[in-house]
Amino acid sequence: MEYKLLDGKATAAAIRAEIKQEVEDIVANGGRRPSLTAILVGNNPASKTYVANKEKACADAGFTSKVIRLPEETGEEELLETIRSINEDPAVDGLIVQLPLPRHIDEQKVIAAIDPSKDVDGFHPISQGKMLIGQDTFLPATPMGILTLLERYNIETKGKNCVVLGRSNIVGRPVANLLSRKGYPGDCTVTMCHSRTKDIERFAKEADIIIAAIGIPFFVKEDMVKEGAVIVDVGINSIEDSSRKSGYRLVGDVDFDKVAPKCSYITPVPGGVGPMTIASLLQNTLKAYKNRK
Ligand code: L34
């Protein structure tokens, strides 16, 4: 089958251009710029890349942004103190703490310390609770990016069988909830599969839409996929590749080369969900800015 790419990079670029235009208009009318602060603790190489990409996206869009880089050995109380001071800083609209955090820090405690009105990651229990019952709030960036991508490509979702592989708080669980909501893009019949699911293949094969977010390279094989399925690959796994200068390359949770020919639409990795995550973060930061005005 002739498949089409769900081009996250291009879609994110379009959204970023729209945001940039809106910010230019705000500034031309004498308004202040939206502002994001990101906290990065430690030296996780992937996190460094993602935060650097966010910083650049903010600059491109005309946002003010700041990255607070803290050493790996930063204590939990010091991090909480930093968050509290940013909560109170009227110049900051959005605050994110890049995950994962070093093991000695309690992630849930840190997330709960963020002022929900600045919680542009949508990870705070209040944000997640509002999302769950369909109230207006910040949606977590990766699930939001996935929905936007489906929307911009006019992918039909009503009544579709959607299988979400993964149950994490930042992707699997929220995206399953959002796709089951009333309206578009939603109205799916959602099945959430995970590491304890018996016979994942059986569920995956029934899916019209697969959201793969398990973090295992090449997990989704061609014999697990129905002809004509739509696949969103959330995985970003680094695997050794001696033919590359860097010695590694990024692959998703889907065995793309074998699976893509069976799909109607599929996201690439890189250039799929990753860039959409960043575009959604900008959208949320602009929303936080507008809420405060
Ligand atoms: N607090 N932690 C918090 N918020 C988030 O929204 C995230 N996430 C996830 C990890 N931890 C987080 C991100 O920022 C994943 N994520 C993220 C962001 C950007 C990219 C990937 C994941 C991204 O830019 N991906 C590029 C390739 C980047 C590369 O070269 O490594 C892509 O094309 O997929």
Give 234-261 pLDDT, tens digit per residue: 999 999 999 999 999 999 999 999 999 9
Q: Which CATH superfamily is domain 141-274 in?
A: NAD(P)-binding Rossmann-like Domain (3.40.50.720)
Question: What pLDDT, on a 0 to 100 scale, did the predictor assign at position 44?
Answer: 96
Is any ligand 1 atom within 6 A of the Cβ of residue 98? yes
Percent of the chain with pLDDT over 90: 99
Is 135 an active-site residue?
Answer: no
- pLDDT tens-digit map of 84-123: 999 999 999 999 999 999 999 999 999 999 999 999 999 9
Alpha-carbon distance 143 to 156, whole Å?
17
User: pLDDT band at 169, cuts 50/70/90?
Assistant: very high
Alpha-carbon distance 115 to 120, whole Å?
10
Does 141-274 match 31-115 at the fold level? yes
Dig out the tokens for 97 from the structure: 């703490």
**Residue 142 in this model has a pLDDT that exceeds 90:** yes
Mean pLDDT of 136-148: 98
Listing DSSP states for 241-265 in one string gives -TTSTTSEEEE-SB-HHHHGGGEEE
**Residue 293 in this model has a pLDDT that exceeds 80:** no
Is any ligand 1 atom within 6 A of the Cβ of residue 13? no
All structural domains of the chain with their residue ranges = 31-115, 141-274
Contact of 8 with 150, CB cutoff 8 Å: no
Question: What pLDDT, on a 0 to 100 scale, did the predictor assign at position 102?
Answer: 98
Percent of the chain with pLDDT over 70: 100
- pLDDT tens-digit map of 187-235: 999 999 999 999 999 999 999 999 999 999 999 999 999 999 999 999 9
Topology classification of domain 31-115: Rossmann fold (3.40.50)
**Residue 155 in this model has a pLDDT that exceeds 90:** yes
**CA of residue 120 to ligand 1 center, whole Å:** 14
Question: What pLDDT, on a 0 to 100 scale, did the predictor assign at position 57?
Answer: 98
Task: Considering the candidates 7, 93, 121, 208, report the single residue annotated as catalytic.
Answer: 121
Ligand 1 atom nearest to CA at 8: 33
Enumerate residues 6+ apart whose C-beta is below 8 A from 216.
235, 237, 253
Contact of 157 with 179, CB cutoff 8 Å: yes
**CA of residue 277 to ligand 1 center, whole Å:** 7
Ligand 1 atom nearest to CA at 97: 1
Is 54 an active-site residue?
Answer: yes
Question: What pLDDT, on a 0 to 100 scale, did the predictor assign at position 3?
Answer: 97
Contact of 62 with 23, CB cutoff 8 Å: yes
pTM of the model: 0.98
Mean pLDDT of 45-57: 98
Is 21 an active-site residue?
Answer: no
Question: What pLDDT, on a 0 to 100 scale, did the predictor assign at position 191?
Answer: 98
Looking at every residue in the chain, the average pLDDT score rounds to 98
* 107 membership: H or E segment, kind and range: helix 107-113
Cα first-last separation, the chain: 50
Dig out the tokens for 119 from the structure: 């919680």
**Residue 1 in this model has a pLDDT that exceeds 80:** no
From 16, 50, 169, the mutation candidate for ligand 1 (largest count of ligand atoms within 8 A of CB) is 50
